[in-house]
Every structure is written in C-alpha cells, then in structure tokens.
C-alpha cells in the first residue's frame, strides 16, 4: 500500500520550518497563492504529518503557522515584536490610520525611530543599539521572508501582512492583561 503525497508538500513544510507564516496575504502572489491554497485545502493532513514529526501546525484568524512548543522567544522574535509595535506606534503618532499599514507601502525611515528616551530605549532592549538603518533594514528583510511584512528594498517601504496583525493583536491582549493586574511592587 502506498500513501499518496500531497502536492508541493515539501515546499510547504520547508517554508513552515523556516518560520514562514502562511496567510490570505499570500493570495496576491502567484506561487504563494498556490501553496496557501494547498495548505488550506489539506490542513488536517498537513497537521497530522507535522504532528507525527513533533510539530504543531496551527490556524488563527486566517494565518497558518507552526507553534513553538517551548514558548521561549528567540532574540529575532523579540526584535520583531518590538520593531512592529514601534512601527505601528510611530505611524499612529503621525495621525495616520492603522488600516493604512496593511494597504500602503509606508516609508519606515520617515518615522522617528531614534527619538531619545523612547524608540532608542525600546530598540536597545532587544539589541538594536546603533543610530543607523542597517539593523532595522536587516530585520525587515528577515521578517519579510517569514511572511510578516512586504518589504521593498528599493524604496525602503514596509506594508504589514496578516501574520503581523495576528502578532500585534496577541501582544495587545498580553499587554492589556499585564496592565489589568494589580501592581505588587
């Protein structure tokens, strides 16, 4: 008895294992749309295959991702959270609407990333200490490969994708829970 293989399963699994998060944002890119649709259509089968080798495939708000069982964040994940939150905060501070971040290519260098006592402090907490664009640009390139943002190197613009929204919403919920707890200090 042979078990039929799922189309493009190797491509899909390799991307997931590299940290890519599939979402309906992928529907706008030909090859990515094919992979997203295959994963969506055969989600239960991919979930079973990945579970058999120790990985948990999850789906939340249209985003499909591998969940890390140990829950310890890597430095890149911490940088991603801080940079995305700072990016959104600096955009909103300019009086711009939140939804534009998911529809427009935003020139991220125009935001006040290194304002004393604010952006610098948050960036330093995750190991981004220089007052230059290099570390931020490198991070945007890396998180673009994981499906969090669309990044245009030529114009230095960023547009958020659905996985970034999922991450932002999760962090907002955690922040609200922390704020709602009584201060024991």
Query: Structural domain of residue 151, as residue ranges?
Result: 75-178
Same domain, 63 and 81: no
Is the confidence at residue 113, as pLDDT, over 90?
no
Confidence of residue 185 (pLDDT cuts 50, 70, 90): very low
Q: Which of 48, 67, 86 is the last residue of a domain?
A: 67
How many domains in the chain?
A: 2
Six token digits for residue 31: 């090859």
Domain annotation covers residue 58 = yes
What is the mean pLDDT of the segment spanning 105-116?
Answer: 86
Same domain, 58 and 97: no
Is the confidence at residue 182, as pLDDT, over 60?
no
- Write the CA distances from 127 to 1, 78, 124, 154, integer angstroms: 53, 9, 5, 26
pLDDT tens track for 15-59: 988 889 999 889 988 888 999 999 999 999 999 888 888 889 999
How large a percentage of the chain has pLDDT more than 70? 90
Confidence of residue 1 (pLDDT cuts 50, 70, 90): very low
Domain annotation covers residue 154 = yes
What is the mean pLDDT of the segment spanning 94-103?
Answer: 93
Same domain, 51 and 113: no
* pTM (2 d.p.): 0.78
pLDDT score recorded for residue 84:
92
Dihedrals φ, ψ of 70, to 5°?
Answer: -80, -15
pLDDT score recorded for residue 10:
87
pLDDT tens track for 144-157: 999 999 999 999 99
What is the mean pLDDT of the segment spanning 96-113?
Answer: 92
CATH of the domain at 113: 1.10.10
pLDDT score recorded for residue 131:
75
Is the confidence at residue 13, as pLDDT, over 80?
yes
d(CA 150, CA 143): 9
Same domain, 99 and 117: yes
d(CA 125, CA 13): 33
Q: Which of 17, 44, 67 is the last residue of a domain?
A: 67
Instruction: Look up tokens 């600096």; give the residue.
Output: 90
């Amino acid at each position: 008895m042979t078990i039929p293989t799922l189309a493009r399963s190797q491509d899909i699994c390799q991307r997931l294992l590299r940290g890519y998060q599939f979402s309906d944002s992928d529907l706008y890119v030909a090859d990515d749309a094919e992979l997203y649709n295959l994963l969506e259509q055969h989600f239960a089968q991919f979930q079973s295959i990945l579970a058999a080798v120790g990985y948990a495939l999850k789906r939340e708000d249209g985003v499909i991702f591998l969940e890390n069982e140990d829950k310890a964040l890597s430095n890149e994940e911490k940088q991603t959270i801080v940079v995305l939150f700072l990016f959104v905060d600096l955009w909103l501070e300019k009086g711009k609407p939140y939804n534009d971040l998911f529809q427009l290519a935003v020139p991220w260098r125009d935001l006040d990333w290194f304002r004393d006592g604010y952006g610098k402090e948050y960036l330093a907490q995750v190991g981004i200490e220089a007052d230059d664009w290099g570390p931020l640009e490198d991070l945007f390139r890396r998180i673009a490969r994981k499906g969090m943002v669309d990044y245009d190197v030529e114009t230095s613009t960023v547009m958020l994708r659905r996985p970034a929204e999922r991450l932002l919403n999760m962090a907002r919920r955690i922040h609200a829970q922390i704020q709602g707890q009584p201060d024991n200090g």
